Chain A
Amino acid sequence: MSLLIRNGFVYDPLNGIEGERMDMATEGGKIVEKVKESSAKIIDASGMIVMPGGVDIHSHIAGSEVNAGRLLRPEDHLKDIEVKGEVTRSGVGYSIPSTFTTGYRYARMGYTTVMVPSMPPLEARHTHEEMDDTPIIDKAAFPLLGDWWFVLEFLKNGLIEECAAHVAWMMKATKGYAIKIVNPGGLECWGFGTNVRSIDDTVPRFDITPREILRGLCKVNRLLNLPHTIHVHTNNLGKPGNYITTLKTMDCVRDLADGKKPVIHITHCQFSAFKGSDWSNMRSGAEKIARYVNLHNHVTIDIGQVVFTDTTTMTADGPFQHSLHQLSGNKWVNHDVETETSSGIVPFKYRRRSYVHATQWAIGLELALMIRSPWKVFLTTDHPNAAPFTTYPKIISWLMSKNARQRTLKKINPRARHRCSLPSIEREYDLYEVAITTRAGVAKALGLKHKGHLGVGADADMAVYDINPKRIDPSEEYTITKKAFERAAYTIKNGEIVARNGEIVKPVTGRTYWADVKTHEPNVAEADLKQRFGDYWTVQYENYAIPERYLHYSEPIMIKADV
């Protein structure tokens, strides 16, 4: 089937196209030069903008911790329902939507690719089962490897190549895409209820520091030629004064970068950009972080923007979640995973009138606005930690409009308002920059070559929004832009119209990307794992790895490693 989208204002930053009025043609799921008009379905996009399908770099939409959150919070679902439609399945929201609903809601916003950033390797099968049940969007998952005993042991002994070979096995076994590191060293400590306090603390029983883990896995990442960088959730997340840890984390791999290519991604950076020594004098550290990111090319970040709403926090950072439970008094789920990782869940409500929450809100926007290049900073809410992903349009309106920010600023805690620098920031994103921070830049950072742009040969994933850039001034008419981004006029996935004006018309199956890393001697790592398997896990070696046929729509990315 071919498709012709006529007369839209096209925003395709990777190809340098900024609001040019042009036609886009697709055939066989790809963007093509042109199609026969007589046989193509024609969409009239005049007066609308056309962008590549949205790409989300970090969103907890599937897996064991997400599902534990769903189970924990019936009160989250009761008021937000999706009724079964003619082609759609029913489901519930709000902050942790059921799988079908998740797929539909992303598609309605014009998003077509989403990264699932924390997959406990032992429970990878669960993550994939849920991803398979999440329709329309393409997905990939990042296995949690920063506290895996094999990694700790190899890195402790300086065996980078052996470590790389084992990580390659893990990528294939769990059908993972990138290396996720959460509170390196801290999760192993949490096994006995403790934590690390800085990136140079020693992890008891393993005699290794977070710095060594970060550097080691960064080298491993390079040896394996993985498409994305290491994806890091810093130590000390959510603690006042942690911006220093974040700066140290970014700086500790600076020398491993060659040229301009980034080597580390700091995720939901807002939670790692607190100044101060306790909650009463906590302040924004966004400026310091933005300055570092502006001066260096080896880092990318995503913001993890807070929106004032009732949501659910969930991370693999067990100790952080426990402290959040202590702080808030809200119910708490902890789930440690043998030899690999931990996780925790706490429901949380961000309040405008709270000094800390309002400051957090400002930090996210400050990061996005103070970092000059949108190729280095991406829009996320660390769904559902800082807010559900359905709030992206609201955040886009804040980025695009000082007025929109002022309106919210008026309502927040006055002390937070006076102490943050957000009110003095004049910058407003234009549509081109929005396209970078929500699509082009993200796809580039993830190494997804066929996503995030509309060049010939790219995947035909597109979003058409009802915004006329010639008529609408997003700075003034921010509610119109917000509404448009909430409900794409058309969402096109693989050359098919999947959503129209917020209505799902065709719930197609999305792909699952994974890194099929070829190492020189995969048998050596395999034999080693087989031999030691029983000492580490309580499942059999044969039951651990996920065969490719298990995935509904597997899309391996062939990679040749240097080991």
Chain B
Amino acid sequence: MKNACAIGEAKFLNYSRHRLETPLMRTSNKLVEASLNEAIERSVEILVQAKYPILYGWSNTSCEAIKKGIELAEEVGGVIDNTTTICHGPSILSIQDVGIPSSTLGQLRHRADLVIYWGSDPWSAHPRHIERYTAFSEGRFQESEWRNYVTKSGAIQSQKRLQRASDLVFKRGVSEIPEVGSRPLTFSKRGRKLVVVDVRKTRTAEVADYFLQVEPGKDYELLQALRLLIRYEELEVDKVAGIPVEVLEDLADMLIGCDFGILFFGVGLTMSNGKHRNIDAALSLVRDLNQKTKFLIMPMRGHFNVTGANTVSTWQTGYPYAVDFSQGYPYYNPGETSVIDILCRGESDAGLVIASDPVAHFPREVVQNLVRNPLIVIDPLETPTSLMADVVIPSAFVGIEVEGTAYRMDHVPLPLKKVVEPPRGILSDEDILERIIQRVRGLKEGKQ
């Protein structure tokens, strides 16, 4: 194992655990083993009989499989939606309103001198992000801050030791330990600056040069206040979102004064109160900043190929997620055609879930409506969703057992390699879907 982060390593090392080994079908409320052909036949039956099936997931598989998924959705006149709908869906709605100034990650590595993580914690969720692309990476025009960080945390550690020693000597009670990391914004720093805005002090915040703690649910206010401040307007309040206005003025100066800034935002911003309004404000802030300096913004995406799911869906149908084919052409209206809303209204009559686990993540009522109808699951692993399914088809691991293409969060396409053979008799997502499509077509032609 080389070059993988802790999360990636765990994926590779544990790929053979909790595997689904054979196709399963539900008979008298029990999942029993079946042959692949039987499972595919049953899936085809379900999909062909359904009037309004939903095909959901797609973010943990290859673009090649996603293409097949869209073809199948079109063939059966269903709705195809990916996990964007529960993570960065609001970001996409805002991008469609405002646009987005962004770049590939290498651009930031070479140039960014101000890095902001807002509502995201890469130290835990994207463990090599800071090291490879931002503050701790070595770029052509910007140096890594890694050494400074090590010196700084070393200094703080020794300060702590000194403190403890003097506490012992003078027989005082344990005095307050000085904070690691963040310093006041007025404290100027050379080189790359790392700023974290979050509702709690995350692991990333501990590494950061500056940390701003925003009151939960007040990101929108804070972003709008910054939009005013970068236009040199005065705020007639003392605090915004729990942060003193003087501090925000310093932050605004920092935003304007950088040579190249980047704002990363995570689910902390997209899925908290305000949703796409928050992103609207963030995108507008960055857009406005481009009148004064170079500033970019990028969503921190989760599943390894969720960007690919959006990308493929967009080029084949014009829309990135929540695409409804029930009228014979792509129709998009999130809120109407997104799976959560369809399930809430109880409109769908069958489901196919692939490469994701909605039972574990969707709201309870929505899950009830999902499992009430016939449900097909295609996944390499046993998941809560697969346990509730009517047909389960095991598939090979993309990127371990089969090749494919995936898109990085910055839209850079990457090849996925095959390192081991899949278990005997287990097909890739792409092949399974292709067989379903062929059988669906066969059935339809037979009917005519």
Contact A84 B290 (CB under 8 A): no
- In the complex, what's the smallest C-beta–C-beta distance from A124 to chain B, in angstroms? 8
- In the complex, what's the smallest C-beta–C-beta distance from A130 to chain B, in angstroms? 5
The segment from B100-108, B200-208, B246-254 that touches chain A is B100-108
Evaluate whether A100 and B316 lie within 8 angstroms (CB atoms) in the complex, with A123-B413, A338-B105 already known: yes
Contact A70 B315 (CB under 8 A): yes
Q: For residue B294, which residues in chain A have a CB less than 8 angstroms away from its CB?
A: 191-193
- In the complex, what's the smallest C-beta–C-beta distance from A329 to chain B, in angstroms? 11
Q: For residue A123, which residues in chain B have a CB less than 8 angstroms away from its CB?
A: 104, 411-413
Mask of A535-552 contacts with B, CB within 8 angstroms, 1/0 = 111111001000000000
Judge if B92 is at the interface, Cβ distance under 8 Å: yes
- Central interface residue in B141, B291, B318, B325, by most chain A CB within 10 Å: B318
Mask of A319-347 contacts with B, CB within 8 angstroms, 1/0 = 00010011000011111111100100110
Contact B296 A126 (CB under 8 A): no
Evaluate whether A337 and B103 lie within 8 angstroms (CB atoms) in the complex, with A92-B318, A123-B412 already known: yes
Judge if B167 is at the interface, Cβ distance under 8 Å: no
Judge if A81 is at the interface, Cβ distance under 8 Å: yes
Contact B106 A77 (CB under 8 A): no
Of B3, B100, B315, which contacts A98 at CB under 8 A? B315
Judge if B314 is at the interface, Cβ distance under 8 Å: yes
A342 to B413, CA, bound (A): 16
Contact B329 A84 (CB under 8 A): yes
- In the complex, what's the smallest C-beta–C-beta distance from A556 to chain B, in angstroms? 20
Of A68, A74, A82, which contacts B329 at CB under 8 A? A82
| Chain B contacts with A in 374-425, Cβ cutoff 8 A | 405, 407, 411-415
Judge if A71 is at the interface, Cβ distance under 8 Å: yes
A346 to B99, CA, bound (A): 8
Evaluate whether A90 and B328 lie within 8 angstroms (CB atoms) in the complex, with A67-B311, A99-B316, A333-B99 already known: yes
A74 to B316, CA, bound (A): 13
Judge if A425 is at the interface, Cβ distance under 8 Å: no
Contact B412 A122 (CB under 8 A): yes
Of B133, B315, B316, which contacts A538 at CB under 8 A? B133
- In the complex, what's the smallest C-beta–C-beta distance from A77 to chain B, in angstroms? 4
Contact B329 A67 (CB under 8 A): no
Contact A83 B316 (CB under 8 A): no
| Chain A contacts with B in 65-115, Cβ cutoff 8 A | 66-68, 70-74, 77, 81-84, 89-92, 96-100
Judge if B215 is at the interface, Cβ distance under 8 Å: no
| Chain B contacts with A in 72-128, Cβ cutoff 8 A | 74, 92, 95-107, 109-111
Mask of B60-71 contacts with A, CB within 8 angstroms, 1/0 = 000100010001
- In the complex, what's the smallest C-beta–C-beta distance from A17 to chain B, in angstroms? 39
Q: For residue B111, which residues in chain A have a CB less than 8 angstroms away from its CB?
A: 191-192
- In the complex, what's the smallest C-beta–C-beta distance from A396 to chain B, in angstroms? 27
Of B97, B311, B330, which contacts A81 at CB under 8 A? B330
A539 to B416, CA, bound (A): 13
Contact A90 B106 (CB under 8 A): no
Contact B318 A336 (CB under 8 A): no
Contact B106 A538 (CB under 8 A): yes
Q: For residue A130, which residues in chain B have a CB less than 8 angstroms away from its CB?
A: 315
A540 to B415, CA, bound (A): 11
Q: What are 10 contact pairs spanning A and B, CB under 8 A? A: A70-B315, A74-B96, A77-B319, A83-B328, A89-B316, A92-B330, A97-B318, A98-B315, A191-B111, A192-B259
- Given contacts A90-B330, A129-B312, list 9 more A-B pairs with CB under 8 A: A62-B315, A77-B332, A123-B411, A125-B414, A149-B140, A193-B294, A326-B291, A334-B103, A539-B414
Nearest 8 interchain pairs by C-beta? A338-B106, A193-B294, A336-B103, A331-B99, A92-B318, A334-B101, A125-B413, A538-B106
